[in-house]
Amino acid sequence: MIRPRDFRWRLALCGAAITLAVAGCTSQAADGATTSGAPERTVTPSVAAPPSTALGSAAVTGSTASPSKSTPPSSPRSSPKPTGSTKPTPTSLDVAAREDADRAAIEAQWVRFWVIYDSIVRTPKESRPRELRKVAVQPLIKAILKAAVDADSKGIDNYGTWKHRVSWQFPVKGASTAVIADCQDQSKTGTYVVKSGQILTVGKERSNMRGEFLKGTDGVWRLRQIYVIGDQKC
């Protein structure tokens, strides 16, 4: 139907772009990505726990004299109150935790997008825009809706399931845009004619893809565009 492995649907879904050309990013070979997790896995995004730090108490050296019975211990001196307001400086741990959280949120939305996308033809037409707005923005929504209408008219739908091999070429670094890489296993997926059951397409074992995300004012990451890198293995 609208699976990117099929050239016609790839154009409908991704426009004319089949190479990675995202504003703010430089092109990079797919094998330069840093993978997250096992090389082949079904993604179950979770926020990675930040590395723990051992903050032990400082050891006190030397001896302290015990106060004499006739001399009461002196009352503790209060620390001087800071004047004015000071803005805390983010630590490296804060930055790492934010990066982990952003990546986990993007991975979750990436996986959720494909679930919604896979069932879009089986979703009532009036509900399709609402479902897509949960995980995507324009121009991707418009392209999928158009392709879904075309699939409706031809009686075509998706079948099967796929696996994600997620990796990150570029860190998020607190930005409102991000690009995720995925070497998808689509070998057990495809498109078919609903009425006859005829198989039309079968996916590739390794489909080299990129997803460009935007972070909305509501703090939710949504997919803006998909890029299929057909000339690079992953």
Alpha-carbon dihedral 87, 91, 93, 99, rounded to 10 degrees: 70
What pLDDT shows up at residue 224? 97
Name the amino acid, one letter, at 22. Answer: V
What pLDDT shows up at residue 92? 78
pLDDT at 192 over 80: yes
**Domains, the chain, ranges and CATH?**
7-20+32-45+93-228 (3.10.450)
pLDDT digits over 30-89, tens only? 344 444 443 343 333 333 322 232 223 223 233 333 444 444 445 445 555 555 556 666
Distances, alpha carbon 208 to alpha carbons 18, 34, 143, in Å? 10, 14, 20
What pLDDT shows up at residue 162? 86
Among candidate residues 146, 27, 48, the one with its CA nearest the CA of residue 102: 48
